[in-house]
Each structure stands twice: as C-alpha cells, then as structure tokens.
C-alpha cells in the first residue's frame, strides 16, 4: 500500500510539473500551446548541454528556464501574436512550431538518445519503503513550484495584471494594463516552465527530439480537467495520475497509458468547464 | 529528361531531384544493391552505422575487382522506420532504381510493408536485423538472430550460474517486445523456472513506475526485459536503477553502443548478441581496422545491427558468383549454399532461410566496458520457415 | 426543387477531364510514380473528409486517420484470418464501414451536444487515433501489433488497374463532395462553422448534422483505408495514428481549407514530393513542411489555393462569376406551433447561477396579437428571461407552455419547432454567407435543403419578404452578410427569424444602434406583425419612447422579479417604475442584462 501511495503522489507531482507551463498560457492567454512538447524537449536538451559543459546537474534547471523563456518571447512575438483571435488556428500553428523545433533539434543534436547526468540517483528508505530518491525530490520540487506560481499570481505586480487580463481583458486594457506585454511575459513564462519541466524529468526519461510528445496530450487533458487553476491542476493530477497508477497496477499498464485521455474525455463531457471552475 | 520523368515529378523541384538521382544510377553495368533503411524515425540512430558497413563491403569488393567483373553500386533510400515510408522506399528501389538485390536492416513494420513489393518485383531480399522471427517469403533471407538463438544464453546463465528460479518479464507492447518475451516465458517454463509476471507498456510510454513497483513486490530472482530500442530502453533502465532494483537484469533489446553510453545506470546489465566489438577473431580485428581506416573520425561504432549488413553484402557477392548471374531466382537458389567468414564467424543462411549463429553473453561494466562472459557456437535458429 | 444547372455541368466537365487524365496517365508515368500516386490518391480522399469537417463545418479534427486505419485493418484482418475472395472482400468492406460508422457515431455523440465547445470536439477526435493505435498494438498476433499485417492474399491486379480504381474513387468522391458543399445543405455547414448558436436558434439540429457528417466522413475514410490495405497488401498501426491525423491537417491547411480541391491537390503534391525528397533530405524536408505550415496558418489562413486562383484570375483578367440570385417567392406563413389557447404561459420560472438568483417566481402570459415589452434596469434579468423562453435547458425551474404544449427540457432547435423565434441583441448572422443564403439557412426546418443542388427560388413568408424588400436587402441578395451596413444586418436577422414562421417572436433590443428612420421602419413592421399576422411579440427594450410607441402591454422586471404587468399608460404613470429607474441609474452597469 505504501508503494502505491508513493507511486500516486510522485506521479501526480510529475504530471503537475509538466503541465503547469501549458496551464499558465491557457489560463492567461486562452491559447492552447501545442508546442508544449517541443519546449519540454528544449529543456531536456538544455540539461544535455549542461552535462556536456560539465556543469553541476542542478544547473540544468535554471539554464533550461532561461533558454525556454527567451525562446518563448521570440515565438510569441513572431508566431503567436497574430493568432489571438483564432484559437483553433493557434493550436495548429503551435503544433507546426513543435515540428519545426523537433527538426531543428534533430539537425543540431542528431536523432539519437542523449545521456544526461542525473542530480540525484538511487533509492532511499521512506515510509518503510525503499523508493526512488529523485521521484521523492520531484514531489518537493512540484510543491515549491505550486507555491511559487501562487505567489507569483497573487503577490506580484505581474500576477495582478495577469489576473486582471484573465478576468476581463478589455476592462484591464481600459485600466491601463498593457495586456500585450502581459501576454508576452506569460508565454515566455509558460515556455520557461515547460522547458524547466523538461530538464526536471530527464533523469527519468531518455533525451531525444521527440521526448515531449507523449507528455503533450496528457498535459493538455489535465489542464482542461483542472478548470485552469493551480489547485485544480494539483487535484486533477492526483485524480487522473492516481487513476493511471491504479489501472496500471491492477488492470494493465497498457490501459493505464490510456487512462488519462479517456477519463478526461468523459469528465469533460459531464463537466465541460473542468472540475474546479464556475 | 524523359517524358515519363516530366510527368512523374509532380513539382519542378521533385523533377530535378528525380533526374539527378536517376542520372547517377543509370550506368548499365553495375550491380545495384538497394538499402532501404530508417534514416529518419526510430532507426535513424543506428542507420548510419548500417550504411557504413555496406559501404565498406562494397568498397572492398569493388577494389578486388567487383562481382563477375561488375562493380557494386549502393542505392540508399529512407524508409522512415515505418510502413508508409518503407512502401515508398521499396517502390523506388524496386521499380524506379531497379536494383538487383535488397540488403537491409529495418524495423519489422518496414520489412513487412516492403515484402509485398519485393514479391511483386521479384527481387532477392537479405534482411540483416535481428527480429521476432518467422517472417517468410520466397525472396527473403535473414542473417541475423531470432529469439530462439538469443534467449537461451541469458536464461541458461541466470538459472545455472546465478541460481535464479523465478523471473519477471518487462517489455514494450509491440511485435518484437511481445514476441521475445513470449518465447522467453516458454523457454523458462521448459527449463523448470517460473515466470512471476510479465508487464508491457505502450511503445511511447515513459512511466514505468507501477510496473517497477510490481516487480519489486513480486520478489523475482531475475529480470529480463525486451523494450523498443532507444527511448523506452533508456527510460526503463533509468527508472529501474532509480528505484534501487539490483537483481540480475538481462536486456534482450539493448545494443552495445547504447549500453556503453548509458553510463553507470547500465552497469551490470547482461546482454546477449551475435556481435560485440570485443570478439577476438582475426576477421573481426581486420574488420574494425578497415572500418577505422575507411571512415576515420566519422566512424559509427559497429554493432549487432550493422555488422550483419557487412556480411550480407558479401553473402550476396558469393551467391552471384556461384550462380554466375544476377538473375533473381538463380541468386535465391545459390544463397542457401554459400557461407562467409565474417566478423561474427561463419555465416550460412541454410536453416530455413535463417542462419545458425555464434552467440555471446556479455555484461556491461561500471566503466562502460563490455565483459565477455561466454560464447555459444552455432546456435540453431529453430523452426522458422518450415514451408520454404 | 430545381437545380442550378451550372454546378452539375462544372462537375461533369471537370470530372470528365480528370477521368481522361487518369485514363491515360499510367501510360506516361513510370510504374514507381504510379504506385506512389495510388496511395496519394487514397490519402487525398481522406484529406477531403478533413476539409469537409474542418474547412467547411469548423470541426478541427485530428481523428480522420482512425477511420482510415479501421478500414485498412478490416481488410487485412478478414483476408488474413478468415478468407479471401469476392464475398470476403465485400464482407471486409462492409465490416470496415460498419465499424467506422459505429465509432464515428459514438465519437460524435460524445463530442457534439448542445452547448459543447468546439475544443471538446477536437479533444474527442484527438483521443480517437490514440485509442485505435493502442488497440492495434494490444492485438498481438491478431493485429500484428507494431509490425502490422502483411502478405495476406489480395488482388494482385496491375498497378494501372489500382491506379484507375483509386483515381475513379477520388474523382467520384470529390465530385459528390463538390456538389454537396455547394448545395443548400453545404451552405448550412458553413453556417454552422460561422455561427453555431444562431443555427441552433434557427431550429437546425446542429449536433445531429455534425454527427451525421462525421459518420459520412468516417465511411469515406474507411473505404479509402480498405483500398489502401488491399492495394499495398500491408497495414501498420501508423495508418490509424495521431501523426497521420495531424499530417492530414497540414495538407488541408496548405492546400486551402474550405476549397475541397486545395486539400486534394495538397495531399497529392506533398505526398508525392515527399517520396522524392525525404530520401535525400529526411530531416530538412520535414523542417520545410513545418515552416511552411506555420507560415500558412499565421499569414495565409485560407491556404495556398485561393492565392493561386487569385493570381490566375489577375493574370487572365477574369472576375469571379457571381451565381444568379434566387427568385423570391412569397408564401403564407403557417405559424409553426399555432394551436388553440394561450400562445405563451409562464409559471414559476426561476433561474440561478450558483447561489445568485437571477430570476424568481416569474408568472405571466402572452396573448395573440400582442406586443409585450420587457423593461427594467440593467441586471433585472430581461435577457435571462428571453433565454429561458428560447432554450429549455436554461431555466432552473418552473414551467413554460406554448399553445398548451410543455416546453420541457429541450434545446433551442426544439423550441423553434414549438413556434418560438429569437433575435439576438447584437446582429447575429452568417458573415461569409450571402443574404439569400442566410435566409435559406433560416428556412432549414420548413423547406429542407437539398444536399445536391441549390434552389433557384427562395420561399419566404410575407412578413420576412416585406423586411427584405423594404430595407433594400432584396437588391443585395448576393452580397456577403458581413459587407452589409449595421442596420441591414439587424434587418436581415429579423427577416431570418420571421422566415421561421414563428407564432411567438422574442426580440432582444432590435433597434440598438439603428438610425431613427430605421427604427421607425422596424417599429412599423412589428406593429403590423401583431396587428395583421396576430403574432405574439416579446420585446426587450431600453428605449422607453420606442416601447411607448409600439407596445400593447409592458412588463417591468426588477431584481429578477416582475414588479408590474400592465398597459403602457399604467407603467408610464407608475411611481414604482420611476423609483426603480432612478435607483438603478445610481448603480448602473452591475450584473448581467
């Protein structure tokens, strides 16, 4: 039982971390960023470069965040901005962008799996179980991330502006909030979060140009189910991640892989606005 | 430019390219070897080493005067590592480039997609990748291993030397993964061991956590895995190590190069292969030396998927010489009889279109090196294509 | 209904040319290109279904590959495991189509319901190929898992034969689709894309149409997949996969969504070119396609074909030929739903959002020939009440009876069938449809549109016709609705509502933003509708002068309750009403109107 509990909590923490960047962008910009998977890959390769340069493996996290942020700013300006009024087209354009990023990574780094040094390895005794140290660390990191995001939204100038834009963009603009700037920063932030998440999961996965693809759909489903709120995303990660672990453990790991997608489609049919909204 | 080309190439760009490649390939007296291979997609990691193997073989043969006095020409086509790409690649090689033979390492999906085209075009096809077995066609020969050859060394070693009684099996949910583990389970049963569980994850799955928890709960003595190459192999190994799994671990799907690169996580893994670079034979030493000399710094480390390609080209050469012609049926008949001493030892595809092979059991060391534990000479491929 | 002959002639003309090209093409092409083209032609048919769904109807689908995979696997599974022969082939095709229809119907039922967001439909279509692929993987030896199935017996006809089969299939499908999208029904699809809400309130069963369309698209996909498997002798999971689904979108977007021909050309060109280029430049080719795709979505959302045709027109100096506008034909309104008794009886209707009570205890009735105005300050609940009358899902409780029939819990399309017509506050029309097309879409229920042709006459009830003629719309029947002046848009929407031949008309601020002349004209029309046609009209209006001029009765709403229900004089003279408005003006702008 203890292991099951740890599996669920750590899986939820990973899902939360991976999906947070997508959620920030959807929440503020009402835009679904299908290049999310590509940003995860960028993070993975930032971690790879960190290893190549011989830096401390923990450095991969801030490095990935910076790379993601800068790229996010550029992409928002060039590609995303013309698409605000066309949300379905934005999905397609960002998907195309994901293809482009994936191919550029392939051309620069090659198609093969790269190896990244892990900041933590091995297992420790926890709750009477020998359990992966890094997965446990990810729970702490996920928690810090959630708190940091809440703090950012509720205790900073940017957060105030962002919340104003979320509630009523026209009104916010009327109040002198530069909503274009808020959107720009948000996209950069979302890209930075995704990229950081990509670096964070590299010790668990293999680094290759398509590493983000399997995560994209699950993140997308989680964010929609969450009703686009941070507590909602935490709960959605726990419920859907938990369901995935349970199905994988007691039924079959193959069905487990479909759990999030199917469950999300059903939940959204019953509650289109997500679990924790309105 | 012929009228056909003008119509065929739907865009100007495409027309130019078709003309370009068609022009080079039009020298009439060469023997054309088609190599459909996954330059993009899942196999793109290993494809360059496969192409290099073929290039070395062709260069050596051409230098020594060619085959029946004719030079060999290689025609490489990308199959995208999948069925759709393979159809295009095979079509192009068989019907457009009109190659004399196909020799290649490919995914099972690509091979399956290509076979109907091979049957229609009536071209000999030497398949040089290990695979799940039992692929049969009048035009097909295979010179790499099948489960019947690869599984026994690991299981025997685990049960004999390491005293393992119970096993846990983990794989990717695809033909090779399931095929290998089903065979493994049967083999363990036959030898009196028990299989405590077998678990699969979809090919693009990344989270092995619940499966690893089950493995730990099962208390198995040993673990045998067969995942898709590349990412799933790496994610599983990393997560196993992170979870502190330290029972004997045999990996049926990891190649030597990946194992070396994986660093400390791969240490202790047992692998079973028909080729490892440490094979001490003269043929292997010469082969490695010539590869180095030919490709210099661009050399991709030869491996279990690329070396059979080298031998495949030679086997074809010998078959053509025996038949005295490149006529497809004559070559197919001759391929059964010829044998070649290559880096992997003596290769002859005379067991229902498959080859008895010397198999090597090795263990990955902490420093990334590979320690050869034992070898098994001329392991039989078993019943593969009894109807041919 | 008579057909507009030019469309059929166009299709025949192009169809014959296309077939002639197909007939001779294999003799000029080498066998390699023919083989590639066979597959490209089948994939083009699949791309065409994506265009029908996405380009025309606005359903962004990632899932068409799933149907292709289903058709392909039906063929492979039957031929591998059961048997081969003409009867088996027919059985396999039949099973493939049945399976595809079942999956499409299920997915459609899940994805398209009243109030579903367009995004949700995309989510379902996204899940579809993922599930199909996983099922194939899990199928072990039966489905061949990742390796797929190959080498099953099939018809080893010559490549030319297959080329002709695939070509004729594509030409026929494209021809039918061409007629379909240019028919009156095709215009309804565009109307759904442009404004789904308006469609629902015109009594169009939007969800059912979408589900049916998905089933048709699934069927075409399954047939194409069947052909693909039978020709190539191979099936693999990727045929039903998510990546092929996105590739289809790329082809359609580049070719030109909503043009049918663009996606077909796009699919063939890109697929064939990739056969040549991906061998020599595998990664750069994909990069190039990715860059092109992003550029087209951002800068040329309509794709390349419209650009090419525009350039062509400019070169040869030809103008777009306008179709002839249909002849308007007056008919006598039947007044849908009319029965005996009170047109509208409202009892105990309330509406809350969470704990917020927006309407409570609403009781009133409307009579024939009455123009009933709903007035009240902002946030009084006027628009909410209109919504509850036009959509059975809206109210939280209470009953609404129309000519003795209970409204129940039915969506807006059923409310229209009961005789309710609703005009929205802001002009709510179909921007890219012409005036005539907008009106014809509004006639969906009463004059079911043809799926092959567009009618040469347009039947309109006299009231609607009068508006069309008096506001000058009759002279602009071929003008796209988005090019109309504001007043004309409002008039067009009103005409569309009246084209429903309703017994009860709900009007939400029909005069907002109109000039004085336009307002007077509308006022006159409304008065005559109540006096001559004896309709019941419910009017939400801020302009109290207008209300006073035309109303026969006034209901005053305040804080979600009816505070007064009486004649114009009673309301005008009421102290209470004056107080309410005076009070409300202090906190104007609070809450929903």
Q: How confident is the model at residue C4 (pLDDT cuts 50, 70, 90)?
A: low
Look at C297 and A96 and tell me if their CB atoms are within 8 Å. Answer: yes
Q: Which of B4, B113, B137 has the CB atom closest to C234's CB atom?
A: B113
Pairs of residues, one from chain A and one from chain C, whose beta carbons lie less than 8 Å apart: 93
Distances (CA, A) of C308 to C175, C254, C256, C315, C494: 21, 12, 10, 10, 38
Contact call for residues A111 and A125 (beta carbons, < 8 A): no
User: Which pLDDT score is estimated for B57?
Assistant: 96
What is the distance in angstroms between the Cα of B70 and the nearest Cα belonging to chain A? Answer: 36
Q: Is A1 on the interface with B (CB under 8 A)?
A: no
Distance from CA of A202 to the nearest CA of B (A): 9
Span C310-345, pLDDT tens digits: 888 888 766 555 567 788 888 887 777 677 778 899
Instruction: Kindly state the DSSP code that residue C180 receives in the 8-state scheme.
Output: H
**Band of pLDDT at residue A1, cut at 50, 70 and 90:** low
Q: CA of A78 to nearest chain C CA: how many angstroms apart?
A: 9
pLDDT for position A277? 63
CA separation for the pair C204, C198 (Å, rounded): 9
* 8 Å CB contact of A123 and B243: yes
- Nearest-neighbour CA in chain B from C32: distance (Å): 5
Q: Does a structural domain hold residue A113?
A: yes
Give the DSSP H or E segment for A180.
helix A179-201
DSSP C564: E
At C345 the three-state DSSP class reads strand
Q: What are phi and psi of B302, to 5 degrees?
A: -65, 150
Q: What is the pLDDT of residue B353?
A: 95
SS3 per residue for C494-529:
HHHHHCCCCCEEEEECCCCCCCHHHHHHHHHHHHHH
Cβ within 8 Å of C, B 300-359: none
Domain B147-273+360-379: which CATH class?
Answer: alpha beta
Closest to C1 (Cα-Cα) out of C457, C332, C499: C457
pLDDT at position C7: 74
Residue with tokens 């198999």: B359
Residue B125 token pair? 């096809």
Contacts of C286 in chain B (CB under 8 A): 40
d(CA B230, nearest CA chain A) in Å: 6
Helix (H) or strand (E) holding C572: helix C568-572
Residues of chain B with CATH 3.40.50.2300: 3-145+280-355, 147-273+360-379
List the structure tokens of A134.
């890094």
A278 part of a folded domain:
no
CB contact A76 to B (< 8 Å): no
Q: In angstroms, how far is CA C510 from the centroid of its own chain?
A: 25
Report how many domains make up chain A: 1
What average pLDDT does the structure give for chain C?
88
pLDDT for C279 beyond 70: no
pLDDT in tens, C60-116: 999 999 999 999 999 999 999 999 999 999 999 999 999 999 999 999 999 998 888
**Neighbour subunits, B (≥3 Cβ pairs < 8 A):** A, C
What is the per-residue pLDDT for A130? 81
Contact of A150 with chain B, judged by CB distance below 8 Å, is answered with no
Range of the domain at A8: 2-211
Asked if B174 reaches chain C (Cβ–Cβ under 8 Å), the answer is yes
Tens digit of pLDDT for each residue in C339-386? 777 889 999 999 988 788 889 889 998 988 899 999 888 888 888 999
Residue to mutate among A30, A92, A252, with most C CBs inside 10 A, is A92
A115 interfaces chain B, CB cutoff of 8 Å: yes
pLDDT at residue number B366: 84
In a domain, A91, yes or no: yes
What counts of helices (H) and strands (E) characterise chain B? 13, 14
pLDDT tens-digit profile of B317-359? 999 999 999 999 999 999 999 999 999 999 999 999 999 999 9
Residues of chain A positioned with their CB less than 8 A from the CB of C294: 79, 93, 96-97, 100
For residue range A172-209, list pLDDT tens digits in order. 888 888 888 999 999 999 999 999 999 999 988 888 88
3-state secondary structure at position C428:
coil
Residues C75 and C149: their CA atoms lie apart, in Å, by 10
Q: Which residues of B touch A4 (CB under 8 A)?
A: 213
Q: Tell me, what's the pLDDT at B16?
A: 39
Q: Quick check: B214 and A249 CB within 8 A? A: yes
For residue C406, count other CB atoms closer than 10 A to its CB.
13
Q: Where are the beta strands (DSSP E) in C162-277?
A: 234-235
Q: Does C273 touch chain B (CB under 8 A)?
A: yes
Within 10 angstroms of residue B296's Cβ, the number of other Cβ atoms is: 8
Q: Smallest CA–CA separation between A88 and chain C, in Å? A: 7
> What CA–CA distance (Å, rounded) separates B252 from B227?
8
Alpha-carbon distance of C481 to C471, in angstroms, equals: 14
Q: Which residues 25-84 of chain C have a CB within 8 Å of chain B?
A: 25, 28-33, 35-36, 39
Residues 6+ apart with CB under 8 A from C437: C187, C191, C430
């309703």: which residue's tokens?
Answer: C502
Compute φ and ψ for C328, nearest 5 degrees. Answer: -85, 135
Q: What is the pLDDT of residue A278?
A: 46
B234 interaction partners in chain A (CB closer than 8 Å): 113, 115, 205-206
For A143, the token pair is 């928690």
What would the two tokens of residue B55 be?
A: 């290039």
Q: Is B180 on the interface with C (CB under 8 A)?
A: no
Shortest Cα distance from C499 to chain B (angstroms)?
50
Low-confidence ranges of chain B (pLDDT < 50): 1-27
A99 contacts on B by Cβ (under 8 Å): none
Cα C589 from Cα B65, distance rounded (Å):
93
Supply the pLDDT for residue B13. 38
Residue B227 phi/psi, 5-degree rounding, is -100, 170
In this prediction, residue C573 has a pLDDT band, given cuts at 50, 70 and 90, of confident
Tens digit of pLDDT for each residue in A77-124? 999 999 988 888 899 999 999 999 999 998 898 877 788 888 887 788
Name which of B302, B360, B364 is nearest B154 in CA terms: B360
Task: With CB atoms and an 8 Å threshold, state whether A205 touches B231.
Answer: yes
Residue, of A263 and C404, whose pLDDT is higher: A263
Tens-place pLDDT, residues C14-24:
899 999 999 99
The 10s digit of each residue's pLDDT in A23-68 is 999 988 888 999 999 999 999 999 999 999 999 999 999 999 999 9
Residues of B whose CB is below 8 A from C269: 10-11
* Reported ipTM: 0.90
Contact present, B69 and C271 (Cβ < 8 Å): no
Chain C stretch 244-263, residues whose beta carbon is closer than 8 A to a beta carbon of chain B: 244
Contact across the interface for A253 and B201, Cβ inside 8 Å: yes
Residue A226 lies in a domain: no
Residue A264 in domain: no
Cβ-nearest to C147 among B11, B39, B112 = B112
Please check the confidence at residue A238 and state whether its pLDDT lies above 80: yes
> Quick check: C282 and B91 CB within 8 A?
no
- CB contact (8 A) between residue A245 and residue B45: no
Of A189, A192, A164, A190, the C-alpha closest to A178 is A164
Interface test with A, best of B44, B207, B214, B260 (most A CBs within 10 A): B207
- From C379's Cα to the closest Cα of chain A, the distance in A is 18
∠ Cα B74 B76 B77 (to 5°): 155
Contact B83 C238 (CB under 8 A): yes
Distance (Å) from the C-alpha of residue B189 to the closest C-alpha of chain C?
Answer: 21
Chain B partners within 8 Å of C236 (Cβ): 82-84, 109, 112-113
Domain B3-145+280-355 is in which class? alpha beta
* Predicted pLDDT of residue C67: 98
Q: CA-to-CA distance for A217 and A240, rounded, in angstroms? A: 13
Query: Which of A26, A96, A105, A269 would best serve as a mutation to test chain C binding (most C beta carbons within 10 A)?
Result: A96
Mutate to test the interface with B, among C38, C146, C149, C230 (most CBs of B within 10 A): C146
Could you tell me the two tokens for B273?
């292969």
Q: Which residues of A touch B244 (CB under 8 A)?
A: 122-123, 130-132
Is B31 in a helix, a strand, or coil? Answer: strand
CA–CA dist C505, C493 (Å, integer): 12
- Predicted local confidence at residue C574, as pLDDT: 82
Min Cα–Cα distance to chain B from C171, Å = 18
Alpha-carbon distance of C407 to C382, in angstroms, equals 19
CB < 8 Å to B112, chain C: 144, 147-151, 234, 236
For B:62-81, CB contacts with A below 8 A are none
């Amino acid at each position: 039982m203890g292991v099951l509990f740890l599996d669920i909590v750590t899986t939820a923490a990973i899902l939360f971390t991976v999906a947070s960047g997508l959620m920030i962008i959807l929440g503020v910009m009402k835009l679904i960023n299908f290049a999310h998977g590509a940003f995860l890959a960028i993070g993975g390769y930032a971690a790879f470069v960190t290893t190549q340069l011989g830096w401390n493996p923990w450095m991969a996290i801030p490095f990935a965040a910076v790379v993601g942020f800068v790229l996010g700013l550029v992409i928002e300006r060039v590609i995303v901005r013309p698409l605000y009024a066309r949300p379905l087209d934005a999905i397609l354009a960002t998907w195309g962008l994901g293809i482009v990023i994936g191919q550029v990574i392939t051309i620069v780094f090659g198609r093969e799996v790269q190896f990244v040094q892990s900041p933590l390895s091995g297992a420790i005794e926890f709750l009477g179980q020998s359990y992966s140290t890094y997965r446990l660390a990810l729970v702490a990191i996920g928690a810090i991330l959630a708190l940091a995001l809440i703090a950012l939204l509720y205790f900073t100038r940017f957060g105030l502006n962002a919340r104003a834009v979320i509630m009523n963009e026209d009104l916010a603009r009327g109040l002198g909030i530069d909503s274009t700037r808020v959107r720009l920063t948000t996209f950069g932030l979302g890209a930075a979060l995704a990229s950081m998440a990509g670096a964070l999961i590299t010790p668990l996965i293999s680094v290759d140009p398509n590493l983000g693809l399997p995560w994209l759909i699950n993140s997308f489903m989680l964010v929609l189910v969450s009703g686009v709120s941070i507590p909602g995303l935490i709960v959605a990660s726990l419920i859907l991640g938990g369901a995935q672990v349970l199905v994988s453990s007691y039924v079959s790991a193959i069905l487990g892989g479909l759990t999030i997608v199917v469950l999300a489609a059903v939940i959204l049919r019953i509650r289109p606005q997500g679990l924790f909204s309105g | 430019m012929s009228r056909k080309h003008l119509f065929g190439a739907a865009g100007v760009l495409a027309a130019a390219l078709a003309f370009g490649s068609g022009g080079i390939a039009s020298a009439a007296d060469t023997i054309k070897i088609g190599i459909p291979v996954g330059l993009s997609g899942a196999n793109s990691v290993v494809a360059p080493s496969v192409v290099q193997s073929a290039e070395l073989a062709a260069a050596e043969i051409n230098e020594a005067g060619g085959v029946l006095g004719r030079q060999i020409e290689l025609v490489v086509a990308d199959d995208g590592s999948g069925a759709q790409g393979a159809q295009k690649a095979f079509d192009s090689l068989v019907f457009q480039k009109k190659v004399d033979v196909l020799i290649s390492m490919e995914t099972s999906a690509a091979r399956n997609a290509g076979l109907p085209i091979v049957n229609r075009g009536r071209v000999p096809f030497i398949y040089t990748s290990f695979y799940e077995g039992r692929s049969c066609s009048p035009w097909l020969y295979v010179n790499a291993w099948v489960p019947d050859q690869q599984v026994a060394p690991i299981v025997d070693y685990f049960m004999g030397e390491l005293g393992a009684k119970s096993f846990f099996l983990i794989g990717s949910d695809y033909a090779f993964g399931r095929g290998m583990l089903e065979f493994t389970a049967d083999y363990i049963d036959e030898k009196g061991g028990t299989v405590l569980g077998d678990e699969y994850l979809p090919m693009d799955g990344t989270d092995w956590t619940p499966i690893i928890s089950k493995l730990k709960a099962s208390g198995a003595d040993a673990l045998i895995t067969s995942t898709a190459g590349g990412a799933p192999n790496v994610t599983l190994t990393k997560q196993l190590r992170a979870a502190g799994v330290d029972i004997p671990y045999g990996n049926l799907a990891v190649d030597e190069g990946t194992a070396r690169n994986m660093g400390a996580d791969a240490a202790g893994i047992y692998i079973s292969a028909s080729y490892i670079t440490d094979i001490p034979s003269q043929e292997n030493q010469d082969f490695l030396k010539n590869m180095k000399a030919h490709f210099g710094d661009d050399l991709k480390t030869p491996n279990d998927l690329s070396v059979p390609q080298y031998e495949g080209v030679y086997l074809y050469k010998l078959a053509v010489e025996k038949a005295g012609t490149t006529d497809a049926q004559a070559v197919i008949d001759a391929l059964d009889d010829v044998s070649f001493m290559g880096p992997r030892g003596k290769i002859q595809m005379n067991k229902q279109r498959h080859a008895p092979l010397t198999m090597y059991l090795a263990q990955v060391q902490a420093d990334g090196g590979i320690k050869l534990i034992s070898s098994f000479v001329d392991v039989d491929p078993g019943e593969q294509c009894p109807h041919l | 209904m008579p057909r507009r002959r030019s469309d059929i002639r166009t299709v025949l003309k192009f169809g014959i040319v296309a077939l002639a090209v197909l007939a001779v093409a294999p003799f000029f092409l080498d066998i390699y290109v023919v083989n590639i083209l066979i597959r490209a032609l089948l994939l083009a048919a699949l791309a065409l279904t994506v265009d029908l769904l996405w380009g025309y109807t606005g359903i962004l689908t990632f899932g068409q590959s799933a149907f292709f995979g289903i058709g392909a696997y039906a063929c492979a599974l039957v031929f591998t495991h059961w048997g081969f022969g003409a009867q088996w082939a027919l059985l396999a095709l039949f099973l493939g189509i049945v399976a595809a229809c079942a999956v499409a119907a299920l997915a459609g039922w899940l994805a398209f319901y009243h109030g579903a967001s367009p995004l949700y439909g995309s989510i379902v279509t996204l899940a579809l190929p993922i599930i199909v692929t996983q099922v194939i993987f899990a199928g072990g030896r039966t489905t061949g898992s990742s390796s797929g199935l190959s080498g099953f017996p099939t018809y080893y006809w010559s490549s030319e034969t297959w080329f002709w089969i695939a070509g004729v299939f594509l030409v026929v499908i494209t021809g039918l689709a061409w007629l379909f999208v240019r028919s009156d029904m095709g215009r309804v699809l565009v109307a759904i894309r442009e404004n789904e809400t308006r469609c629902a309130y015109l009594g169009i069963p939007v969800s059912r149409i979408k589900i049916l369309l998905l089933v048709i698209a699934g069927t075409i996909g399954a047939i194409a997949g069947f052909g693909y498997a039978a020709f190539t002798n191979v099936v693999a999971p990727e045929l039903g996969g998510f990546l092929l689904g996105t590739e289809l979108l790329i082809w359609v977007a580049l070719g030109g969504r909503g043009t049918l021909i663009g996606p077909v050309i796009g699919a063939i060109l890109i697929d064939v070119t990739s056969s040549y280029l991906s061998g020599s430049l595998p990664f750069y080719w994909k990069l190039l396609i990715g860059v092109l795709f992003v550029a087209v979505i951002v800068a040329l959302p309509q794709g390349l074909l419209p650009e090419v045709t525009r350039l062509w027109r400019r070169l040869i100096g030809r103008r777009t030929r306008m179709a002839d506008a249909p002849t308007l034909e007056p008919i006598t309104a039947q007044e849908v739903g009319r029965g005996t008794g009170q047109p509208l009886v409202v009892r105990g209707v309330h509406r809350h959002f969470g704990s917020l009570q927006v309407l409570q205890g609403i009781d009133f009735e409307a009579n024939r020939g009455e123009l009933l105005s709903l007035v009240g300050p902002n946030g009084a609940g006027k628009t909410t009440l209109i919504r509850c009358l036009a959509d059975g899902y809206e109210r939280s409780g209470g009953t609404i009876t129309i000519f003795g029939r209970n409204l129940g819990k039915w969506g807006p399309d059923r409310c229209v069938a009961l005789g309710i017509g609703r005009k929205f506050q802001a002009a709510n029309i179909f921007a890219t449809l012409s005036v005539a097309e907008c009106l014809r879409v509004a006639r969906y229920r009463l004059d079911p549109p043809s799926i092959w042709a567009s009618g040469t006459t347009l039947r309109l009830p006299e009231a609607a016709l009068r508006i069309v003629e008096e506001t000058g719309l009759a002279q602009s029947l071929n003008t796209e609705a988005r090019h109309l002046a504001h007043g004309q848009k409002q008039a067009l929407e009103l005409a569309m509502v009246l084209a429903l031949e309703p017994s009860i008309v709900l009007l939400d601020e029909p005069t907002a933003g109109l000039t004085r002349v336009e307002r007077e004209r509308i006022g006159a029309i409304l008065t005559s509708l109540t006096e001559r046609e004896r309709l019941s009209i419910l009017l939400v209006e801020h302009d109290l002068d207008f209300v006073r001029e035309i109303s026969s009765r006034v209901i005053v709403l305040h804080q979600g309750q009816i505070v007064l229900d009486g004649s114009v004089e009673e309301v005008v003279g009421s102290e209470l009403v004056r107080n309410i408005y005076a009070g409300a003006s202090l906190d104007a702008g609070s809450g929903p109107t």
